[in-house]
Amino acid sequence: MNKIVVTGIGIISPIGNSVAENRAALQAGKSGLTSLELFATRYARLLKFGEIKITNEDLKQQLGVTTKGVTRTTLLALHAFVQAIEDRGFTNEELQSSDTALINGNTIGGMSESENLYLDANKNEVGSEYISSYNLGTVNMYIQQRYKIGGVVNTFNTACSSSANAIAYGARLIKNGFAKRAIVGGTDSLAKFTINGFNSLGILSSTLCKPFDAGRSGLNLGEGAAFLVLEKEHDAKGKKIYAEVSGWGNTNDAFHPSSLSDNGDGPYLAMKEALEVAKLKPEQIGFVNAHGTATENNDEKESVAMKRLFEKVPAFASTKSNTGHTLGAAGAIEAVYCILNLMHQEVYANLRFENAIETTGLTPVTEYKKMNLEHVMSNSFGFGGNCSSLIFSKTNHLL
Amino acid sequence: MFYIHQSSCISHQPTFNDVDLEDLKLIENNLVPAIEPKYENVPLGQLRRMGRALRMGVGTCMKLLATNKVNGLLIGTANGGIEDSIMFLNQIHDYEEGRLTPTAFVQSTYNAIAGMVGMITVNHGYNATHVHRGHAFENVALDAAMLLKENPDNSYLIGGVDEISPKNHRLVSLTGWYRHDTVSNADLYEGNATGTLLGEGAAMFIVNNKSESAKAKLTGLKMVNSHDENFVKEQLSLFLKENPGEVDLFLQGENGDNRLLKYYAACESLMAEETTVARFKHAFGEFQTVSALAVWLSTYVLQNQKLPQHFIKKNSATEFNRILIYNNYQGVQHSFMLVERV
Cα separation, B22 vs B25, whole angstroms? 9
**Residues 6 or more apart in contact with residue A253 via CB below 8 angstroms:** A260, A261, A264, A265, A266, A267, A381, A385, A386, A387, B124
Fold type of domain A4-393? Peroxisomal Thiolase; Chain A, domain 1 (3.40.47)
How many Cβ contacts (< 8 angstroms) between chains A and B?
191
pLDDT digit string, tens, across residues B93-103: 999 999 898 98
Residue A397, pLDDT score = 59
Name the β-bridge partners of A219: A204
Chain A residues inside the 8 Å CB shell of B100:
196, 199-200
pLDDT digit string, tens, across residues A253-274: 999 988 999 999 999 999 999 9
Shared-domain flag, residues B29 and B81: yes
Which residue in chain B has the smallest CA separation from A176?
B146
Domain residues of chain A, as ranges? 4-393
Shared-domain flag, residues B192 and B242: no
CA gyration radius for chain A? 19
Residue A1, pLDDT score = 55
Which residue in chain A has the smallest CA separation from B99?
A200
| Whether B171 and A193 lie within 8 Å, measured CB to CB | no
The last residue of a domain, from among B149, B174, B208: B208
Shared-domain flag, residues B32 and B164: yes
Shared-domain flag, residues B124 and B193: yes
Cα separation, B297 vs B300, whole angstroms? 5
The pLDDT confidence band at residue B167, using thresholds 50, 70 and 90, is confident
Which strand (E) or helix (H) includes residue B338?
strand B333-340
**Cβ neighbour number for residue B173 with a 10 Å cutoff:** 17
Annotation marks residue A291 as catalytic: yes
CA distance B311 to chain A (A): 30
pLDDT digit string, tens, across residues A287-333: 999 999 999 999 999 999 999 999 999 999 999 999 999 999 999 99
| Whether B127 and A135 lie within 8 Å, measured CB to CB | no
Residue A45, pLDDT score = 95
Shared-domain flag, residues B33 and B133: yes
Name the β-bridge partners of B126: B72
Give the rounded distance of the alpha carbon of A275 from its chain centre. Answer: 20
- Domain span at residue B138 reads 2-208
Shared-domain flag, residues B255 and B279: yes
**Cβ neighbour number for residue A149 with a 10 Å cutoff:** 20
Shared-domain flag, residues B54 and B151: yes
Q: What is the pLDDT averaged over residues B19-44?
A: 94
The last residue of a domain, from among B175, B208, B241: B208
Cα separation, A167 vs A105, whole angstroms? 9
Cβ atoms A149, A102 nearer than 8 A = yes
The pLDDT confidence band at residue A399, using thresholds 50, 70 and 90, is very low
A398 has pLDDT over 80: no
Chain A residues inside the 8 Å CB shell of B80:
157
Number of Cα atoms under 13 Å in the Cβ half of residue B54: 27
Indicate the number of domains in chain B: 2
Cα separation, A361 vs A299, whole angstroms? 11
| Whether B96 and A42 lie within 8 Å, measured CB to CB | yes
The last residue of a domain, from among B162, B192, B208: B208
CA distance A92 to chain B (A): 16
| A363: region left, alpha or beta (phi > 0 left; psi from -120 to 50 alpha) | beta
Shared-domain flag, residues B254 and B116: no
Annotation marks residue A397 as catalytic: no
| Averaged confidence pLDDT in chain B | 96
Q: Classify residue A264 by burial, with Cβ atoms within 10 Å: 0-12, 13-18, 19+.
A: buried
Mutate to test the interface with A, among B89, B95, B151, B175 (most CBs of A within 10 A): B89
Question: Following CA atoms B37, B43, B45, B51 in sequence, which dihedral angle do they give, to the nearest 10 degrees?
Answer: -50
- Which residue in A371, A393, A342, A329 sits closest to A75, CA to CA? A329
User: pLDDT > 70: what percent of chain A?
Assistant: 99
Out of A79, A209, A325, A387, which one is annotated catalytic? A325
A149 has pLDDT over 90: yes
Of A41, A136, A254, the CB nearest to B119: A254
Of A127, A137, A158, the CB nearest to B111: A158
Residue B108, pLDDT score = 87
pLDDT digit string, tens, across residues B115-161: 999 999 999 999 999 999 999 999 999 999 999 999 999 999 999 99
Residue A2, pLDDT score = 86
| Whether B121 and A254 lie within 8 Å, measured CB to CB | yes
Q: What is the pLDDT averaged over residues A368-382?
A: 97
Chain A residues inside the 8 Å CB shell of B126:
250-251
B113 has pLDDT over 50: yes
Out of A209, A234, A256, A291, which one is annotated catalytic? A291
Q: What is the pLDDT averaged over residues B316-332?
A: 96
| Whether B89 and A118 lie within 8 Å, measured CB to CB | yes
Cα separation, B128 vs B115, whole angstroms? 9
Which strand (E) or helix (H) includes residue B147?
helix B136-150
Q: Does A156 touch chain B (CB under 8 A)?
A: yes
| Whether A159 and B332 lie within 8 Å, measured CB to CB | no
Q: What is the pLDDT averaged over residues A335-343?
A: 98
Shared-domain flag, residues B277 and B203: no
Of A122, A132, A258, the CB nearest to B106: A258
Which residue in chain B has the smallest CA separation from A384?
B115
Chain B residues inside the 8 Å CB shell of A172:
146, 150
B54 has pLDDT over 90: yes
Name the β-bridge partners of A100: A181
Chain A residues inside the 8 Å CB shell of B125:
251-252
CA separation (Å) from A127 to A327, A376, B173, B199?
28, 47, 9, 20
Shared-domain flag, residues B162 and B250: no
Annotation marks residue A387 as catalytic: no
A143 has pLDDT over 70: yes
Q: Is A161 helix (H, G, I), strand (E, B) or coil?
A: coil
Shared-domain flag, residues B226 and B198: no
Q: Does A254 touch chain B (CB under 8 A)?
A: yes
Query: What's the ipTM?
Result: 0.97
CA distance A251 to chain B (A): 5
| Whether A251 and B124 lie within 8 Å, measured CB to CB | yes
Query: Quick one: how many helices (H) and strands (E) in chain A?
Result: 12, 15
CATH number at residue B302: 3.40.47.10
Which of A73-77, A81-85, B174-178 has the least mean pLDDT?
Answer: B174-178
Shared-domain flag, residues B239 and B319: yes
Of B102, B129, B167, the CB nearest to A158: B129
Strands A33-34 and A49-50, how do they pair? antiparallel
Strands A100-105 and A181-188, how do they pair? parallel
CA distance B298 to chain A (A): 24
Chain A residues inside the 8 Å CB shell of B101:
200
Residue B7: what residue type?
S
| Whether B115 and A137 lie within 8 Å, measured CB to CB | no
Q: What is the pLDDT averaged over residues B209-214?
A: 97
